[in-house]
Amino acid sequence: MDRHSLSPHICNDFGRMAEVFEKEGITGGRVMIAADSNTAPLYAEQVKMELSRVFREVHLFVFRAGEEYKTLESAASLLHELLKLQFDRKDCIAALGGGVTGDMAGFAAAVYRRGIRVIQIPTTLLAQIDSSIGGKTGVDFEGYKNMIGAFHMPSLIYTNTDTLLTLPAEQFTAGMGEVIKSALLADSDFFAFLEENREKIAASDRECILEMIRRCAAIKVKIVLEDPTEQGVRALLNLGHTIGHAVEKATNFTLLHGEAVGAGLKSAAAMSLKRGLISKTDYDRICSLLAYFGLPLYVEGIDPEEILHFTKSDKKMADGQIRFILLKGIGEAFYADDVSDEELMTGINVLLPDKDKDR
């Protein structure tokens, strides 16, 4: 696998797009920009102008914004446009937007003519530090997140961090769930960096944001290179996601993905604390950082038994046993195949205000 194609080109504007595309040899032919109805009005014309300098034709496909539209139907609509324009395997899709756009457009690229190139142009924090990197694509199906998908590596990732300046506050908060996850699973020094610079990060200090995104991207690239198709170490990237996905589903996706991951990180930390793997001090540090960035420590109105059911229906089940990611300490995660229902309930109950014993 080409390490260079996995590593994002990270800068503060779209003005270097043509230069980067030419350097990577991604020129000529046609490109379909896929963007949702929130992102297209903000950036589509600027990106079209830049890409028109290196592509013969530039087209735009816009679909309705929201997780509820990350579906086979949306992918089919995009595929219909590609077919109508007779895109061939020399052409490509550029996914402009957040994780929903990147996942759906990446999936369409993976299956159209058995695979055409996809360019990721992430505009949300969550997409810039996580979902645009590593080639996981997919759509939600029958109420389950990313149940249908494919591994399809991007040919290029172009990250403009200034798009975060137009990001709604709740989307930035959601992205911080994945940022904290990255630090927790692989880099205790990065976790300390987040603690020490939390005020600057919250104030959108450009240098701190650039450093944060670079460090997150480096963590993910390293793990993906070791395990491109999630057969081993890449599973660590699911820290916080198993209960997090269940919470998303139980709340009918009223929580953003990164918010649910934040709740899942508290759950994983509580389960690790229960096993004696992390100290109470580290548990409190984790909860404090999550809370500082507005991530939910509690989720109102959820049924613990329903969360348990959804958790055990997760696609990460193997031979009837869930693979759950726990912590040996801040910056060191591992996957456990021996998590009991009782332990899962420990992780679920800390999200209930009336059952959390560690407040």
**pLDDT score for 232:** 81
**pLDDT score for 71:** 95
Averaged pLDDT, 58-67: 96
Same domain, 85 and 160: yes
Same domain, 141 and 198: no
Residue 319 has pLDDT above 80, yes or no: no
Torsion angle (degrees, nearest 10) of CA 40, 217, 183, 337: 90
Same domain, 36 and 62: yes
> pLDDT grade, residue 315 (50/70/90)?
low
Report if residue 284 sits inside a domain: yes
Same domain, 199 and 77: no
Same domain, 160 and 196: no
Domain that holds residue 81: 3-166
Residue 234 has pLDDT above 90, yes or no: no
Q: What is the CATH number of the domain that holds 269?
A: 1.20.1090.10
Same domain, 185 and 314: yes
Q: Token pair for residue 190?
A: 């990065």
129 near 68, Cβ under 8 Å?
no
Same domain, 37 and 72: yes
Same domain, 202 and 75: no
Report if residue 357 sits inside a domain: no
> pLDDT grade, residue 4 (50/70/90)?
very low
Which residues fall within 8 angstroms of residue 180, CB to CB, at 6 or more apart? 191, 194, 262, 265, 286, 289, 290, 293, 295
User: Which pLDDT tens digit goes with each residue over 122-172?
Assistant: 999 999 999 999 899 999 988 777 889 999 999 999 999 999 998 999 999
Same domain, 106 and 185: no
The total of structural domains in the chain comes to: 2
Q: Which of 136, 166, 196 is the last residue of a domain?
A: 166
Q: Which of 121, 142, 166 is the last residue of a domain?
A: 166
Residue 219 has pLDDT above 80, yes or no: yes
Report if residue 355 sits inside a domain: no
**pLDDT score for 73:** 96
Same domain, 257 and 162: no
